[in-house]
Amino acid sequence: MLLLDEPCSALDPISTGRIEELITELKQDYTVVIVTHNMQQAARAPTIRIYVSWRVIEFSNTDDLFTKPAKKQTEDYITGRYG
């Protein structure tokens, strides 16, 4: 298991792309968990968990979470109205 806390924080887009390519390769052999506040980066993940106050409030595949979140709190967060 690979746990990454903001692995691309403060990186330029080219470096971020390289890191994400490496993560994509690594996920073939390892479980990868990434913490990010970057919604564009989160949108490139296959699944997402949204945490508030250390609790999971929503877990879904990325397309569903971004297009039809089950909870208003999730919608507020991903649209920038909360957090």
Break the chain into its structural domains and give their ranges.
Answer: 1-37, 46-83
Distance CA 49, CA 34 (A): 10
Quick one: pLDDT at residue 52? 86
pLDDT in tens, the chain (83 residues): 999 999 999 999 999 999 999 999 999 999 999 999 999 999 999 999 999 889 999 999 999 999 999 999 999 999 988 76
- By C-alpha distance, which of 7, 31, 20, 62 is closest to 74? 62
Quick one: pLDDT at residue 83? 61
Helix (H) or strand (E) holding 39: helix 39-42
